[in-house]
């Protein structure tokens, strides 16, 4: 049973085709790597999946439906590449606001527990702008995972993360994975993909170049590592 | 209210109310007005005390013979009086010349130790002369002579009905002023509230938790409520001041003048409410279509200027004449709210025109709010300017 179904997805911006007939599925509880060089169409696919873009053609479904952010039966956590929160508001106000919007039963209690977990209890009533970059990332991550989402989409999650936050993120991914959350991981770090992902899709210029389990993809490329496969596919692009 | 809509509205209201800058902008003008009033009031009192102190020595030389029994006749000539003032024998010296009836001029002499802004010398001598002459006149003659009576104006319009234009204009006028205050006090906040999500890169995260429509409508509702809070905070001190001075003849005269015209007042209230929705929609649309505060302010200023455009042609509106220019300003979308309220205040707006204007404002408001939500959704993730296709440069 799949949580994400993308079928014959095509996306054009004016005369430019960004995605060409893309189809893939993400299973429930699966960690799925969405890979590709910059401009290959990864973020566009996620944005169309979340309804920010209207696809030129094709179907993009989450849990069998077009995504509706207010449907409490289909909860999605999204950590975009470009991310931020209300800097002028306090840490607790930011967390409680998002927890309320995501329909959590006890937003304050959840927020306090999360702050304790990430060691930021003393920052509860600080304005977000007073926190360091790494501390702000922890809050963004909290907003993303609140309410145990059915699907978690992480776009370059470790970009700018210090080693401590990177370890925290890995812990959270593993924890949510155990609870049955499906995760779409968009990253340039192939070691993360090899370590975490069950399956992956490699995109180039909006076209799927490889799709399947990590083992199948490696076999398709004569047992090469994902790093080597990545270089082989995108090296052509740079030549 | 829908739950996400309620959550957004509540969050937006509370975060604005917590900002010192909000209260500073709300209370600055009323505080300034209050302070000005208090200073004026205290200075007024000071003047009162300095008018004629008990030990003030006054001398009047009356060569015109107006004062039959002159208790202030201390000096025979003007020169003697001047000398006495200079030497400090008297504080004030008035000289009424023989040819007063021709020159209509009285000379006043006084030694001063600084700049006297509030000169009461003319009032003092006028009072003394008036009292002297009044002794020989009846009360009616005195009233006729002094002009200290009220002329009650009763006007009729061409159809023979009572035409208390000014009295009827007071309440709709106050409603129109309230809209102007809303525009001036809230304009910037309306635009910036939508820009913030884009500037801080919050858009993508928040749009996975709430729909763009509910986010924008929630913000609009919050901004309208905050606007009302601002208007109330602005007007409340004025009401208190009026209440405290209700005995003042000028204020009671205004109250006597007020005439309640239900049609004009209802029309004003409806226009006010929809105009607020309209201008909130326009300004949030600017915020949703622009990537940052700087870009937004470039578009916001012309929109506000266009909204207050009827005030540049106030004379034209006041003349009561409805010509092409007035009609144009009345139906031009951005200037329509103030123009319609202004004409309703002055009684030059017919029912048909009111309905056409209201329909226009309501339709455009609904369209603009929908467009704002769509633009926000589309532009929120572009972090760039949403320029209409026909304005985009074609690549060659």
Q: Strand B92-96's sheet: what is its strand order? A: B58-62, B92-96, B107-110
**Confidence (pLDDT) at B54:** 65
Q: Give Cβ neighbours of residue A233 (< 8 Å, ≥ 6 apart).
A: A202, A204, A209, A210
Residues B90 and B239 in one domain: no
Cβ-contact B56, B90 below 8 angstroms: no
Residue B9 forms part of a structural domain: yes
The Cα angle at residue B66 between residues B65 and B72, in degrees rounded to 5: 85
Rounded Cα–Cα distance for residues A230 and B170 (Å): 76
Question: Å from A9 to nearest chain B CA?
Answer: 19
Residues B26 and B83 in one domain: no
Q: Cβ A86–B207 below 8 Å, yes or no?
A: no
β-pairing verdict for A16-27 and A151-155: unpaired
Quick one: average pLDDT of B288-293?
A: 84
**Confidence (pLDDT) at A217:** 92
Residue B42 forms part of a structural domain: no
Name the residue range of residue B73's domain: 58-119
Q: Closest Cα partner for B209 from B2, B4, B3, B389?
A: B4
Instruction: Name the domain count of chain B.
Output: 2
Residues B204 and B348 in one domain: yes
pLDDT digits (tens, 9 = 90+) for B303-360: 988 998 888 888 888 887 788 888 899 999 899 999 999 999 988 888 999 999 999 9
Residue of B nearest to A142 (CA): B205
Q: State phi, psi for A235 to the nearest 5 degrees.
A: -65, -35
Cβ-contact A36, A45 below 8 angstroms: no
Q: Considering only the beta carbons, identify the residue of B7, B206, B381 that sits closest to A47.
A: B381
Interface residues of B toward A, Cβ cutoff 8 Å, are: 3-4, 7-8, 11, 15, 19, 196, 200-202, 204-211, 214, 377, 380-381, 383
Q: Among A5-14, B50-59, B292-301, whose mean pLDDT is lowest?
A: B50-59
Question: Å from A72 to nearest chain B CA?
Answer: 10
Question: Å from B208 to nearest chain A CA?
Answer: 5
**Confidence (pLDDT) at A1:** 74
Q: Cβ contacts (< 8 Å) between B194 and chain A: which residues?
A: none
Question: Å from A80 to nearest chain B CA?
Answer: 7
In the numeric block, which tokens belong to residue B381?
Answer: 């993730």
Q: State phi, psi for B229 to the nearest 5 degrees.
A: -60, -45
Longest alpha-carbon distance in chain B: 102
Q: Which of A86, A92, A137 to mutate to test binding with chain B, by most B CBs within 10 Å of its CB?
A: A86
**Confidence (pLDDT) at A127:** 94
DSSP B115: -
Residues B25 and B66 in one domain: no
Place of tokens 């930011």: A94
Q: Give Cβ neighbours of residue A138 (< 8 Å, ≥ 6 apart).
A: A118, A120, A165, A168
Q: Is 60 exceeded by the pLDDT of residue B387?
A: no
Residue B154 forms part of a structural domain: no
Residues B173 and B317 in one domain: yes
Residues B170 and B70 in one domain: no
Residue B110 forms part of a structural domain: yes
Task: Write down the H helix ranges in chain B.
Answer: 3-17, 20-50, 78-86, 100-103, 121-134, 139-146, 165-199, 203-206, 212-244, 249-257, 262-289, 293-307, 309-312, 314-318, 324-331, 336-346, 351-379
Q: Cβ A140–B202 below 8 Å, yes or no?
A: no
Residue B148 forms part of a structural domain: no
Calculate the average pLDDT of chain B. 82
Residue B196 forms part of a structural domain: yes
Instruction: Compute the half-sphere exposure of residue A201: CA atoms within 13 Å on the CB side of its CA.
Output: 23
Place of tokens 């004026």: B40
Q: Considering only the beta carbons, identify the residue of A83, A93, A98 that sits closest to B209.
A: A98
Residues B115 and B27 in one domain: no
Residue B49 forms part of a structural domain: no
Residues B293 and B374 in one domain: yes
Residues B200 and B74 in one domain: no
Q: Cβ contacts (< 8 Å) between A97 and chain B: which residues?
A: 7, 11
Q: Give Cβ neighbours of residue B10 (< 8 Å, ≥ 6 apart).
A: B222
Q: Cβ A50–B205 below 8 Å, yes or no?
A: no
Residues B221 and B355 in one domain: yes
β-pairing verdict for A199-204 and A31-36: parallel
**Confidence (pLDDT) at B218:** 92
Question: How many other CB atoms sit within 10 Å of the CB of residue A220?
Answer: 14
Q: Considering only the beta carbons, identify the residue of B19, B211, B383 that sits closest to A69.
A: B211
Q: Considering only the beta carbons, identify the residue of A70, A78, A103 that sits closest to B205.
A: A78
Angle between helices B3-17 and B212-244 (to 10 degrees): 50
Residues B12 and B76 in one domain: no
Distances B148 to B136, B142, B145, B154, B310 between C-alpha atoms, Å: 18, 9, 8, 19, 39
pLDDT digits (tens, 9 = 90+) for A70-106: 888 888 999 988 788 999 899 999 999 999 999 999 9
Under the banding of pLDDT at 50, 70 and 90, the label for residue B145 is: confident
ipTM (interface predicted TM): 0.88
Quick one: average pLDDT of A137-158?
A: 91
In the numeric block, which tokens belong to residue A138?
Answer: 């922890």
Q: Considering only the beta carbons, identify the residue of B3, B202, B207 that sits closest to A85.
A: B202
Residues B291 and B251 in one domain: yes
Residue B392 forms part of a structural domain: no
Under the banding of pLDDT at 50, 70 and 90, the label for residue B392 is: very low
Rounded Cα–Cα distance for residues A132 and A137 (Å): 9
pLDDT digits (tens, 9 = 90+) for B13-27: 999 898 888 888 777
pLDDT digits (tens, 9 = 90+) for A162-196: 888 888 888 888 999 999 999 999 988 888 898 88
Residue of A nearest to B380 (CA): A52
Angle between helices B324-331 and B336-346 (to 10 degrees): 130
- In order of their start, the domains of chain A are 2-75+150-238 (3.40.50.300), 84-147 (no CATH)
Sign of CA dihedral A161, A164, A169, A170: positive
In the numeric block, which tokens belong to residue B118?
Answer: 């509030």
Question: Å from B227 to nearest chain A CA?
Answer: 21
Instruction: Compute the half-sphere exposure of residue A35: CA atoms within 13 Å on the CB side of its CA.
Output: 28
Q: Cβ B209–A84 below 8 Å, yes or no?
A: no
pLDDT digits (tens, 9 = 90+) for B38-87: 776 666 555 444 455 667 888 999 888 888 777 888 888 999 999 998 99
Q: Cβ contacts (< 8 Å) between B217 and chain A: which residues?
A: none
């Amino acid at each position: 049973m799949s949580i994400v179904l993308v079928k014959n997805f095509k996306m054009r911006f004016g005369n430019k085709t960004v995605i060409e007939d893309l189809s893939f599925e993400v299973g429930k509880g699966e960690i799925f790597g969405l890979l590709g060089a910059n401009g290959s169409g990864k973020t566009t696919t996620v944005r169309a999946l979340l309804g920010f873009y209207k696809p030129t053609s094709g179907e993009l479904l989450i849990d069998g439906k077009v995504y509706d952010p207010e449907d409490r039966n289909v909860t999605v956590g999204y950590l975009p590449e470009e991310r931020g929160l209300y800097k002028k508001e306090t840490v607790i106000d930011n967390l409680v606001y998002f927890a309320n919007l995501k329909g959590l039963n006890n937003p304050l209690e959840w927020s306090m527990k999360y702050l304790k977990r990430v060691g930021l209890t003393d920052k509860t009533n600080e304005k977000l702008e007073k926190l360091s970059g790494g501390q702000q990332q922890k809050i963004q991550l909290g907003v993303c995972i609140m309410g145990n989402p059915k699907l978690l989409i992480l776009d370059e999650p470790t970009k700018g993360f210090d080693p401590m936050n990177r370890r925290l993120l890995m812990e959270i991914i593993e924890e949510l994975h155990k609870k049955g959350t499906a995760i779409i991981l968009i990253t340039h770090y192939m070691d993360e993909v090899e370590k975490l992902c069950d399956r992956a899709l490699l995109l180039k210029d909006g076209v799927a170049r490889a799709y399947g389990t990590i083992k199948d993809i490696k076999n398709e490329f004569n047992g090469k590592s994902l790093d080597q496969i990545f270089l082989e596919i995108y090296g052509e692009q740079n030549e | 209210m829908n739950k996400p809509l309620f959550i957004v509205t509540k969050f937006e209201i509370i975060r604005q109310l917590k900002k010192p800058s909000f209260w500073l902008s709300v209370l600055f003008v009323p505080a300034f007005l209050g302070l000005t009033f208090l200073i004026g009031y205290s200075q007024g009192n000071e003047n009162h005390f300095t008018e004629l102190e008990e030990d003030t020595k006054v001398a009047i030389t009356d060569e015109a013979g107006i004062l039959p029994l002159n208790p202030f006749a201390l000096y025979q000539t003007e020169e003697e009086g001047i000398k006495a003032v200079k030497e400090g024998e008297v504080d004030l010296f008035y000289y009424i010349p023989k040819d007063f009836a021709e020159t209509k001029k009285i000379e006043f002499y006084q030694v001063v130790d600084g700049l006297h802004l509030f000169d009461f010398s003319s009032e003092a001598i006028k009072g003394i002369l008036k009292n002297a002459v009044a002794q020989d006149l009846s009360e009616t003659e005195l009233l006729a002579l002094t002009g200290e009576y009220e002329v009650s104006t009763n006007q009729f319009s061409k159809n023979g009905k009572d035409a208390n234009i000014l009295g009827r204009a007071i309440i709709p006028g106050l409603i129109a002023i309230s809209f102007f205050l809303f525009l001036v006090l809230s304009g910037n906040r309306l635009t910036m509230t939508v820009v913030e999500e884009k500037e801080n890169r919050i858009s993508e995260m928040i749009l996975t938790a709430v729909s763009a429509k509910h986010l924008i409508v929630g913000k609009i509702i919050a901004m309208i409520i905050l606007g009302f809070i601002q208007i109330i905070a602005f007007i409340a001190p004025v009401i208190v001041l009026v209440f405290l001075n209700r005995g003042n003849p000028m204020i009671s005269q205004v109250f006597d003048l007020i005439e309640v015209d239900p049609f004009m007042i209802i029309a004003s209230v409806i226009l006010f409410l929809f105009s607020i929705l309209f201008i909130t929609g326009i300004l949030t649309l600017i915020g949703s279509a622009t990537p940052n505060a700087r870009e937004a302010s470039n578009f916001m200023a012309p929109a506000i200027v266009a909204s207050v455009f009827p005030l540049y042609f106030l004379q034209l509106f006041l003349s009561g004449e409805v010509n092409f220019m007035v009609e144009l300003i009345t139906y031009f979308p951005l200037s329509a709210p103030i123009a319609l309220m202004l004409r309703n205040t002055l009684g030059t707006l017919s029912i048909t025109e009111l309905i056409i204007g209201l329909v226009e404002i309501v339709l455009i408001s609904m369209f603009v709010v929908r467009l704002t939500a769509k633009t926000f959704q589309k532009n929120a993730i572009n972090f760039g300017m949403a320029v209409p296709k026909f304005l985009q440069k074609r690549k060659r």
